[in-house]
């Protein structure tokens, strides 16, 4: 993977690519987490988060997430000219703002930072696997779901350690519906982040594996998006992958309400053992499609 500027990606935006883009000149088009064009007057590229320990920790997390997602992605850091910003681009690059990183870490902890990175990688899934390039609140909420999936499947620790991630999701929501950068209400962001975590843990515990396209359809089902626009736009998609397996959402929900799920979600030692056994195969879980 190409890790530009040391480690950077780590905190992108799971929960909220914050702030608006710059003003005139050569500033890029900025909508939600999506940026087209150069950084322009949004900020300046830098080579570090400002602390060697933070750089080292985030570099390790970026490597781990790239193995998990199996989608090589360039990660860069920039110093925002104002406010906080982090974003993902269809060309396979993620940019993280230094202010955004430190604010998230200080307010919500390291799991929120991991979730931010995973949210941005979720956009790469949308760009490069699903074939969706629409900047919309639906895609932002789906990326929250992907972030939760990562924490549930790859970081299956106690709920107490996930609370920072969920807190960050909730606190990053708002009711500014007319803002083109809107990512969803607090309740919506929390719900999708938690649902993604539950789906990831369902996969880990039951041995089921969903492809990226299946996950896309499941998330859209939870979001109430009409099935007519769920299909990916890429012409190479296998038609059989565009049909959701019968009763898949019902299977997930039935399991989540079962005594088995309650025990698994509460038993931290069990989760850690399963995580260790699963980590070796993370890079093989998806990406066939």
Please indicate, yes or no, if residue 176 is contained in any of the structural domains.
yes
**Model pLDDT, residue 237:** 40
Q: Quote the tokens at residue 238.
A: 């296998």
Please name which of 186, 159, 19, 138 lies closest in space to residue 87, comparing C-alpha atoms: 19
pLDDT tops 90 at residue 16: no
**Full strand arrangement of the beta sheet holding 43-46:** 29-31, 34-36, 86-89, 93-97, 74-80, 43-46
Q: Quote the tokens at residue 81.
A: 């000219």
Please name which of 114, 138, 20 lies closest in space to residue 58, comparing C-alpha atoms: 114
Please indicate, yes or no, if residue 2 is contained in any of the structural domains.
no
**Model pLDDT, residue 105:** 92
99-111 pLDDT, tens digit each: 889 999 999 988 8
pLDDT tops 80 at residue 268: no
Please indicate, yes or no, if residue 135 is contained in any of the structural domains.
yes
For residues 10 and 104, the answer to whether their CB atoms sit within 8 Å is: no
Residue 68 phi/psi, 5° resolution? Answer: -65, -50
**Model pLDDT, residue 145:** 96
- Give every CB contact of residue 109 below 8 A, 6+ residues apart in sequence: 164
163-213 pLDDT, tens digit each: 888 999 999 898 998 887 788 999 999 999 999 998 988 888 788 888 888
C-alpha to C-alpha distance for 87 and 183, rounded to whole angstroms: 13
Please indicate, yes or no, if residue 3 is contained in any of the structural domains.
no
Q: Quote the tokens at residue 71.
A: 């989608």
pTM for this model (two decimals): 0.78
Please name which of 70, 161, 175 lies closest in space to residue 121, comparing C-alpha atoms: 70
Structural domain count of the chain: 1
Please indicate, yes or no, if residue 1 is contained in any of the structural domains.
no
- pLDDT band at residue 234 using 50, 70 and 90 as cut-offs: very low
Identify the domain containing residue 163 by its residue range.
Answer: 8-284
Most confident of 36-40, 43-47, 227-231: 43-47
Please indicate, yes or no, if residue 109 is contained in any of the structural domains.
yes
**Model pLDDT, residue 238:** 42
| Residue 46 β-bridge partners | 77
Find the distance separating the first CA and the last CA of the chain, reported in whole Å: 20
pLDDT tops 70 at residue 232: no
pLDDT tops 60 at residue 241: no
- Summarize the confidence of residues 241-247 as an average pLDDT: 57
C-alpha to C-alpha distance for 117 and 124, rounded to whole angstroms: 11
Please indicate, yes or no, if residue 114 is contained in any of the structural domains.
yes
Please indicate, yes or no, if residue 250 is contained in any of the structural domains.
yes
């Amino acid at each position: 993977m190409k890790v530009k500027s040391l480690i950077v990606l780590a905190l992108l935006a799971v929960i909220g690519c914050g702030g608006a883009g710059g003003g005139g000149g050569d500033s890029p088009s900025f909508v939600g987490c999506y940026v087209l064009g150069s950084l322009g007057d949004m900020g300046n590229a830098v080579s570090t988060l400002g602390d060697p320990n933070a750089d080292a920790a985030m570099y390790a997390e970026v490597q781990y997430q790239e193995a998990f997602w199996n989608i090589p992605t360039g990660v860069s850091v920039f110093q925002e000219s104002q406010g906080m910003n982090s974003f993902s681009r269809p060309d396979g690059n993620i940019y993280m703002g230094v202010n955004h990183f430190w604010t998230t870490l200080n307010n919500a902890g390291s799991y929120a930072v991991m979730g931010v990175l995973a949210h941005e990688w979720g956009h790469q899934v949308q760009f490069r696997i699903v074939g969706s390039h629409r900047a919309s609140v639906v895609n932002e909420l789906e990326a929250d779901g992907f972030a939760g999936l990562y924490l549930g499947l790859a970081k299956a620790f106690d709920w107490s350690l996930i609370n920072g991630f969920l807190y960050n999701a909730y606190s990053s929501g708002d009711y500014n519906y007319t803002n083109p950068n809107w990512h969803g209400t607090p309740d919506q962001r929390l719900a999708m982040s938690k649902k993604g975590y539950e789906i990831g843990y369902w996969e880990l515990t039951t041995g089921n594996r969903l492809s990226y396209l299946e996950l896309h359809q499941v998330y859209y089902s939870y979001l109430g998006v009409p099935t007519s626009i769920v299909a990916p736009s890429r012409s190479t998609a296998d038609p059989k992958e565009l049909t959701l397996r019968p009763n898949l959402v019902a299977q997930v929900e039935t399991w989540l309400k079962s005594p088995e799920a309650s025990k698994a979600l509460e038993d931290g030692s069990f989760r850690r053992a399963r995580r260790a056994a699963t980590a070796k195969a993370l890079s093989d879980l998806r990406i066939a499609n």
